[in-house]
Structure 1
């Protein structure tokens, strides 16, 4: 099919380890059958695939919000559960408390977890707001922030808990193109500084290539993983420089071909149009 690598050998040290996972909804609809996936410490992995292939379900399983019928899911060697300290989750929408300031929204997770004194919580919250470029907006309410700024607050709130693994579920899908590009660069800057393992869901092929060390392409459910593609682009990456590289376009075209293969398997596309 292509010149690119289609199989990634499992790393020796896994931050995420999904082995032989089966999952179906109570309705009986199958999502995964014998799913296997690994991510090494500090790796940035993008998950790409059409709607309904199980991308968000995978994150829900890894976070412990849902349980598989078979198989195992480990985060840094521990069986996953919602309260696992090593795990952070950034949702599609910021989900901020509208009555709390940006600072207090970031502090909220620390407060609920009972970490540090009240003063230390505020200092840590301010530190992570500074990291995402929002120190000057610490006393603003969510309604006084743009969509991109709200998502930065949400990211700071997760980072303040200092998880080793970040699960990111299309966190920038609702942003305009300019804000989304800026958040892509911001995410890579923070990842380089903090060193977390990231599993990042997206429908955007360009975003996957720009961000990831490796892109995992999902099949239509319950097909699991279609293929994996290692992204060998120089870091640090920037929107102006990286996206104009010939190799960037090659990776983009290769992933478009693979997504086309996946979509061709969809029974919805094979049914005749009435």
Structure 2
């Protein structure tokens, strides 16, 4: 039996994923290898359209790799699991359910938690995300930031091994986004959790993450892994520090270099046009 490093929660080994018919098949992720460490927040950034959404789907088990493998706690990830949950960009709260009802929906459906234990856990988590006074409100009665916190509570009650955050603060106004970043900082520092945080905002990645995966242009692979050594506890003022500036400058150089490839015409685009002309 293969020995598992206890600090490694999820491992992607030489993962590739393609979509489309044979004549115009496009590789979105190619030979991607990545290790998600226990109780750390790993941020993922990359050029626009590089394949971040596909990577989220692979991490969540919504898509399976064409090549390579993904393991969770040493076992193959073969489909969606409550141990690898996603908080998406768009709210998935059910509008006909209250905050409390949304939070308990998953465990109730699975029937894997006694009723009294579920009630205590839900109330504790709702309190943790600051929604005690809004437990009986419906999603449309909550602000955008409150809806995001309700989404977090709904994921947290399942106690996933890995929480996958897919640009969860996108679409919020600038002030609410900052407040959510500060809230999420405190939440992660109060109780260690294993997080994958996908974002298009470099500063958000720098202030939240223990490490940042910088992706290449499509097809996505790991271009560089940056370790973020800013001290904890953190606050948004740290983004003004020399250290944060250097992290941002270095990551921006890589992202700019990778983004420029899409303007120069890549091998992938050439292969696609050639295949299309043959079919035509």
The gaps in structure 1 that reach 5 residues or longer are 1-10
Q: Aligned pair count?
A: 260
CA contact (8 A) 1:163 1:196 kept: no
2:242 is matched with which residue?
246
1:26 is matched with which residue?
20
Matches within 5 A, 1:162-177: 162-177=159-174
**Cα distance in 2 for residues equivalent to 1:24 and 1:69:** 7
Matches within 5 A, 1:1-274: 13-27=7-21, 28-239=25-236, 241-267=237-263
**Cα distance in 2 for residues equivalent to 1:86 and 1:202:** 21
**Cα distance in 2 for residues equivalent to 1:188 and 1:15:** 21
* CA 36–154 in structure 1, closer or farther in 2 if over 3 Å, else same: same
**Cα distance in 1 for residues equivalent to 2:232 and 2:253:** 25
CA contact (8 A) 2:59 2:84 kept: no
* CA 193–115 in structure 1, closer or farther in 2 if over 3 Å, else same: farther
Offset, 1:188: 2.1
CA contact (8 A) 2:63 2:79 kept: no
CA contact (8 A) 2:43 2:213 kept: yes
Offset, 1:186: 1.6
Q: Structure 1-normalised TM-score?
A: 0.89
The gaps in structure 2 that reach 5 residues or longer are 270-280
Q: Which has the higher helix share?
A: 2
1:174 is paired with a residue whose SS is coil
* CA 151–82 in structure 1, closer or farther in 2 if over 3 Å, else same: farther
CA contact (8 A) 1:63 1:81 kept: no
Offset, 1:83: 4.3
**Cα distance in 2 for residues equivalent to 1:144 and 1:185:** 23
Q: 1:120-156 deviations in whole A, cap 9, x for unaligned? A: 3232211111111111110101010001100100000
CA contact (8 A) 1:16 1:73 kept: yes
**Cα distance in 1 for residues equivalent to 2:239 and 2:101:** 37
RMSD between aligned alpha carbons? 1.8
Offset, 1:190: 1.8
2:177 is paired with a residue whose SS is helix
Q: Structure 2-normalised TM-score?
A: 0.88
**Cα distance in 1 for residues equivalent to 2:264 and 2:173:** 30
CA contact (8 A) 1:169 1:201 kept: yes
Offset, 1:189: 1.9
* CA 196–224 in structure 1, closer or farther in 2 if over 3 Å, else same: same
